Homo-oligomer: A and B are copies of this chain.
Amino acid sequence: MKQTKTVLPWLSGLIFILVLSTASAGETVNDPLPAWNSGTTKQRIIDFVDGVTDSNSSTFVPVNKRIATFDNDGTLWSEKPTYFQLLFIIDRVKSMAADHPEWKTTQPFKAVLDNDMAALKAAGMHGLLELTMATHAGMTTEAFELIVKEWLATARHPTTGKAFTEMVYQPMLELLDYLRANDFKVFIVSGGGLEFMRPWTETVYGIPPDQVVGSSIETRYEVRNGKPVIVREPKIHFIDDKDTKPLAINRFIGQRPILAAGNSDGDFEMLEWTTSGDGARLGLIVHHTDAKREWAYDRESSEGRLDRGLDEADQKGWLLIDMAQDWKEIYPAVNDQ
């Protein structure tokens, strides 16, 4: 009896410490999205996550079905004045032009060399992919990875002067973390090139290479002097956009997401596919409304054109994220040293 009594103060001290640390963990959980302003948008996201993770809720979803897919351009990072991958391509075309005199008179290369953005935009997504083929093929996958990494380390955005990987959205980084903390498996499903994204998505978004789905070119396996390589070929394998996004989700992920986020009509079918499944579903559209801190565009934009999605979001139950209204910050604070 005596021993029990003397042990008790020690035990209650321990319990006090345990309770304290639980409480402070609890406070963090209470504001999982600090860069989001309070309001219905933030609340609906939190309510959705609470509902699918509460095993007593009628909307509970088991961990292995908690799949979330995110578009990249305009959803996780900016896409103005044009897609960042196109800015990468422009730099590549210019640095390779000496070896390709025919590019001076052939579109869409001519447009790049002439800095003719209008002609470039007119070439559209397929023009972009043609440029991708021409500038990104012929080398091994390992050589291409190095080219992408070097460009990202040195290139700067034409108007903000930031590194491109600093132009990711802080509120979306928090959303990715919040979902993962609630046992979601988070994927990128983007029209961008698979191997343009994979060298940096793990560091920047915490999304590993095998959880990145995108457009791709053909490749071939070759053994060079006993050493195998994978060579990138100038031929489109798959374009991941609009109605092919659900097909890519089916092929790469193999189950229907319960949450999908996009910003353009290129994401319409991904959101439609996601939110028409049974049970709790969430479709998110980042609406670019912030001309001051980022860019404001929707129906008339050549990048991230959002027209049908804007018309039908309400009827489909999709949540429009009003960037100007809902986001306290746009980009992560940069540690200038």
Q: Which residues of A are interface residues toward B (Cβ below 8 A)?
A: 2-3, 6-7, 9-10, 64, 67, 141, 185, 187, 194-195, 198, 202, 208-212, 216, 219-221, 223, 227-228, 230, 237, 243-244, 246-247, 250-255, 269, 272-273, 276
Contact = CB atoms under 8 A, between A and B. Distances in A.
B272 A228 contact: yes
Nearest to A244: B221
B212 A251 contact: no
B6 A255 contact: no
A254 B209 contact: yes
B194 A251 contact: yes
One complex includes copies of this chain to the number of 2
A137 to B, nearest CB: 14
Contacts of A212: 254
Contacts of A243: 220-221
Contact of A247 (B67, B195, B221, B250): B221
Contacts of A9: 3
Given A3-B10, A230-B246, A273-B228, A251 B221 contact: no
A246 B227 contact: no
A209 B67 CA distance: 11
25 contacts: A3-B6, A3-B9, A3-B10, A6-B6, A6-B7, A7-B7, A7-B10, A67-B210, A194-B254, A195-B254, A198-B254, A209-B253, A209-B255, A210-B211, A210-B252, A210-B253, A219-B247, A219-B250, A221-B246, A228-B246, A228-B276, A230-B246, A230-B247, A230-B273, A252-B252
A69 B262 CA distance: 32
A210 B210 CA distance: 9
